[in-house]
Chain A
Amino acid sequence: MDLGLDVEDRDGFAVLSVRGEVDVYTAPRFRERLIELVSEGKHRIIVNLEGVDFLDSTGLGVLVGGLKRLRSHDGDLLLVCTQSRILKVFEITGLTKVFSIHDSVDAAVGGGGGTSSS
């Protein structure tokens, strides 16, 4: 099972685009990539979940861990997600209130409108 993890720089943010299924098998690679980015000094990270087909609680755990790590560096972790079946997982667990979730990378970079979690 492939997990795509592509990074690009965008207006002072590192955008990590995740593709495929995030579960107990693939989550460790996702976690490692996030930790690498933080140790490279990238403290403002956007995780783009638009290419994710499946995300379970292990994936949520990686994101919560990433947010915690970044906040300890005065950074932030923003999410891009519009897929209802993925958003549902955040809603059930109450994490829509913890994460800033945006409709597009542009909206996340702009820090303005397009937030799904207002």
Chain B
Amino acid sequence: MTASEVAGEVIELEIPARAEFVALARLVVSALASADSNLADERIDDLKLAVSEACTNAIEAHDAAGSLERVLVRCKASTDALEVYVEDRGHGFDPSGLPDHPPVTDPDRLKFERGLGIPLIKALVDEVEFSPTGHGTSVRLVMRHGPNGVSED
């Protein structure tokens, strides 16, 4: 597989909404990203982590909603970016409603064992978008080709 062969293709993977399948989603996305020679290894690692966080949230949303449906991971390769959509069929959530973490020097910071996933996603990918669907939430992660990536600092 080469970058030009991957461009324009859409790859879809449906995983059972169970924790053991997050590794499979990571593996598929990173393998596809590796075929895209326009993404540096470091950026592939970033995307892999962002996909893992998005899938983890999706599975937790399914758990909370008691949904037995699958989580959809869709990858769209284009000539200038790789986009990954993670769609859950949980009840949806409001990313703007997340609590702000106290500063790291605050002793209360240690009360936050959760809620680090969304800030990580935002820092790792070039673009992230959370959209409600009829059934849950769709998270769109975009990794652009070239030197404009957020990780190139």
Contact = CB atoms under 8 A, between A and B. Distances in A.
B94 interface: no
Given A64-B110, A64-B112, A58 B120 contact: no
Contacts of A1: 20, 23
Contacts of B56: 23-24, 56-58
Given A54-B48, A64-B110, A98-B104, A93 B116 contact: yes
Contact of A54 (B26, B42, B101, B111): B26
Task: State the majority secondary structure of interface residues on A.
Answer: helix
B23 A67 contact: no
B87 interface: no
Interface string B53-97: 100100110000000000000000000000000000000000000
Contacts of A54: 26, 48-49, 52
B19 interface: yes
A97 B123 contact: no
Contacts, number: 70
B124 A23 contact: no
A57 B20 contact: no
A21 B120 contact: no
Given A21-B23, A93-B119, 15 more contacts: A23-B19, A23-B22, A23-B23, A23-B56, A24-B59, A54-B52, A57-B56, A61-B116, A62-B113, A92-B119, A94-B104, A95-B104, A97-B104, A97-B105, A98-B104
Chain A: interface residue count, which band? 20 to 34
A65 interface: yes
13 contacts: A1-B23, A23-B23, A23-B52, A25-B19, A25-B23, A58-B56, A61-B116, A62-B113, A65-B113, A89-B49, A93-B119, A95-B104, A98-B110
